[in-house]
Amino acid sequence: MVTYRNKELFVENVSFKTLASTYGTPCYIYSKKYLVEQFSDYKNAFKGYPQTIICYSVKANSNLSILKVFKEMGSGFDIVSGGELERVIAIGANPKKVVFSGVAKSNEEVKKAIEFGILFFNVESFDELEVINKIAKKTRHVAEISIRVNPDINPKTHPYISTGLKSSKFGIPIRQSFEIYREAKKMKNIKLIGIDAHIGSQILDLDPFEDSLERLENLYFKLKDENINIDFIDIGGGLGIKYKDEDRPPSKKKFAQKIIKRMKRINCKLLLEPGRSLVGNSGYLLTAVVYKKNNYKKNFLIIDAGMNDLLRPALYGSYHKISKVIRSHKDEKIYDVVGPICETGDVIAKNLSMNDVKLGDILVIHSAGAYGATMSSNYNTRPKIPEILVSGNKTFLIRKKETISQILENEVII
């Protein structure tokens, strides 16, 4: 969605230079066209299996305007907190397209979700199952649930975003899950409707998805033999995106072909929870060069965006492509690109080759649409930055810049 026109970088039909001038830096920029295209790709890929529900994973990017774009395209939502529940309520989401995941749902969150009428909870422990049953009984409801099983699949991704191994905090080991299903069937205020698995994030190989679904299929038929009939298989999300040239994510079409082939044998409803693959490459972090510096032959570009704005490089060692808004071919140097935060780990890129960089130059950090704004913080009492949605030649402020007063307003001096 970005191209150079006369050496100037554009997103859709708006230049990043204009965006920086209008909204200041740092700020997040999103392409609506990209969001629409990616969701349409999923819908088209799975049209051969009409029993499919696509539930966007809210944690990837929870801005209300972005949620609304997906809702208007027919998306459901995968949520992991009471706050995310309030977000999908605020945009008028269909409760029968909302699933609630996460390992530590509070009593209040469970109650609110039951009363909202969500499609089902992805239950991650027997304790949680008992809590949901008690709250459903107290509120005179029957809670529909899916049990998140841990298939012990290695998704070949970063350890921090691998969630399907037996050592993970997520889910119930698949070998134990059969007995949990049998116990759940006895609970009067629980209705079993699903099996769920989520093996990780940023997965670039389709084999782990197929291996996981094979294990879910075996469990599905084992439960059926026990007269426990399941309506949904929830395969989670996790399809990766391209961060750098050597990344080769599989197409949504190939992904769907593998999933549909096995789902036709199972013949029940399919639910998937894409996040990063819908929003990751829609987003850009716009930042300015504040200072240049040289320490013992090491060149630094100090920018006004920091690890509080984009945590992924510090947390995971993640790569993000960085481009100049105005292209140049002069005076190439190698830099470490660092932010203003008082931490040695506040490094956005190491050994980056850049041409003719001057103070005040605007840089674009790519692939920042997923786990960028949602993981940002107020560390060093830095306000959270604006977010802007670009559609064609129009721009929309979809999150105002936070003020220091807003940061301080809940603190109490005693």
Distance CA 48, CA 355 (A): 48
Least Cα distance to 400 among 373, 362, 379 occurs for 373
Three-state DSSP class for residue 196: strand
Other beta carbons less than 10 A from residue 249's beta carbon: 21
Is residue 342 annotated as a catalytic residue, yes or no? Answer: yes
Are 280 and 203 contacting, i.e. CB atoms less than 8 angstroms apart?
no
Distance CA 60, CA 374 (A): 7
For the residues of 139-157, what is the DSSP string, one character each? Answer: TT--EEEEEEEE-----SS
Which residues are within 8 A (CB) of 48 and not within 5 positions of it... i.e. 6 or more apart?
Answer: 256, 260
Distance CA 237, CA 300 (A): 37
For the residues of 57-120, what is the DSSP string, one character each? Answer: EGGG---HHHHHHHHHTT-EEEE-SHHHHHHHHHTT--GGGEEE--S---HHHHHHHHHHT-SE
Least Cα distance to 82 among 108, 61, 51 occurs for 108
Distance CA 334, CA 353 (A): 4
Q: Which of 27, 55, 268, 342 is catalytic?
A: 342
Distance CA 291, CA 379 (A): 21
Three-state DSSP class for residue 307: coil
Q: Which two tokens stand for residue 232?
A: 């949904």
Q: Which two tokens stand for residue 120?
A: 């089902």
H-run or E-run covering 15? strand 14-15
Q: Which residues are catalytic?
A: 342
